[in-house]
Amino acid sequence: MGLKQRLLALVFLDSAIVIFSIFICNFILSADIRPINSVLVTSAFILLIVHHICAYYFKLYKKAWEYASAKEIKSIVYAVTISIALTGLMQIVVFQEFYLRTLIMTWMAHVILIGGSRMAWRLYRDAYGSSNQGGKKTLIVGAGSAGTMVARQLAQETSSGLLPVAFLDDNSSKLGLEIMDLPVYGAIRDVKKAVEKFSIEHIIIAVPSLESEELNQVVNVCAETKVRTQTLPRMEDIMLGKVEVTQFKDVDVEDLLGREPVKLDVEGIADSITNKRVLVTGAGGSIGSEICRQIARFSPEEIVLLGHGENSIYSIEMELRNSLPELNISTEIADIQDKSKLMQIFEDRKPHVVFHAAAHKHVPLMERNPEEAVKNNALGTKNTAEASDHASVNTFVMVSSDKAVNPTSVMGATKRLAEMIVQHMDTVSKTKFVAVRFGNVLGSRGSVIPLFKKQIQNGGPVTVTDPEMVRYFMTIPEASRLVIQAGALAKGGEIFVLDMGEPVKIVDLAKNLIKLSGYTVDEIGIKFSGIRPGEKMYEELLSKEEVHENQVYPKIYVGKSSEININEVINFTKKCEMLEKDEIKKRVLEIARGEHIEQNHLSAVNKKVNANN
């Protein structure tokens, strides 16, 4: 039935109920059979008009009654009560008569008949509408609102191929009860028993409130059954309409490592982005593209997507245009090492805010190509920062790394040099320059997760550098939110750091991923390959000299400024192409650590540069 036909049917049905009810109720309550009088006829006419007005106001004709619940019944009661009350008021004002008993009985008839007609839709659907009887027997972990919603959807959708048969819940008051004709069989620890009793073929974890540690425990219990286990999609994706409730996802390592997300200062961010021109460098990368997605929610005047790789820029441009057609998007293909091109772009676009995410991040590759790390991470940042200053940008936010703290790798050292450049620029420019430092990002290009997954698909083993190696982890959306929040908090010169909780052992990460893939560690195996050049056993987010104890925002810290020899940094970025790779690696680490540089070494470098000139 189409929307128009549905609307006409409901209007006709309600009209019949309204007219029929008031006359039949008057007839039942009359002591003798008296002719229909003008009061009754006028009351019926007024009641009909007012009812349809109330029905329109409470959207009774727009609701999907096959999914009706107590909320929809409440709307019917409100509409009927108001229409009856106004009709009674009309009787008193116009006719100085008040058919109280008739109106009370009419109210009851309306609620019963109109409510009953709507609920009949729901009862028919529940009794005959489901055609998903042949799906896989599914156990739902969690009998709360989320679990009930999942059960209701699965019972009606044929496409999912899943048939709910039972709940598990740790709420003792629900044990032994039935929800939607499904038993609450036991507590979550009873997964094995439930799987055996009901011949379960699929498990859905439907408890969005679980913390990562609790989710880990549930996943471990489910993993022992060898039954495929999935969880609900992220609630924010459901709310934004990106996915349906029943588009379940496999439990990811991100779910097990997640922390309570940082709550954004929405008003502060809106003030810094809404109706502003925002430029993102490295916009096609993992972090840069997510920054663009997050920024788009705040209605900027324009987003400028700047990147070196045309395919990745095209990809994020098409994604944003499809999801937000009204968004003003511009693209620029440029290398941040090309200063003149950057100057021209910034002069033309005149952005208010710049998020600088372009960088080389792969530690082993940068160890083998140190000159490229210096040119892109240090010199590229210098070019972008100077272009921002030249174009009078309001706020410049640079994406940094925990590897910039006491660096042992070229990548980390060049990131520290970039931080120094940004902090120096803040002292000589009206633009507010800040950096944001965080740990490893799960799912980003070059992260360990895709590598581990590929190794598991190939039958193993999973390679881990060292059994004691630990890292901080965060998700791409969380990292991007931190960067955007830093832009709103920026006063100038800060290095913002997220409280990333406890570090995670890489070997534990590998074990969890193997388990989530449906295997045991013995089946896949773990091989220790040894620490690679430039890697640390553990990472730091702030050095001892940088630590500020107080948070500037929930879960966000700001580091103290340290002394910077900016001339040394700038001279090195200019001269690095004249040096051998080993010299570059030595010098960049020395400068980044703030170590004393011997005069004869500086003289040797200068002589070599002069000779080449």
Catalytic residues, by residue number, are: 403
Compute the Cα dihedral for 407, 411, 413, 418 and give only its sign.
negative
Helix (H, G, I), strand (E, B) or coil at 498: strand
In sequence order, the 6+-apart residues with CB closer than 8 A to the CB of 502 are none
Rounded CA separation 448/480 (Å): 19
Rounded CA separation 4/141 (Å): 40
Q: Which helix (H) or strand (E) holds 353?
A: strand 353-356
| Cβ contact 332:305 at 8 Å | yes
CA distances to 125, 131, 137, 164 from 128, rounded to whole Å, are: 5, 8, 19, 17
Nearest Cα residue to 299 out of 316, 266, 274 = 274
Q: Name residue, tokens 């980044």.
A: 592
* Radius of gyration, alpha carbons of the chain: 33
Look up residue 438 and give its two tokens. Answer: 């965080």
Q: How many CB atoms lie within 10 A of CB 57?
A: 12
Q: Is the peptide bond before 461 cis (omega within 30 degrees of 0)?
A: yes
Helix (H, G, I), strand (E, B) or coil at 553: strand
Residues in the chain: 613
Rounded CA separation 75/57 (Å): 10
Look up residue 206 and give its two tokens. Answer: 């439907």
Look up residue 396 and give its two tokens. Answer: 């410049």
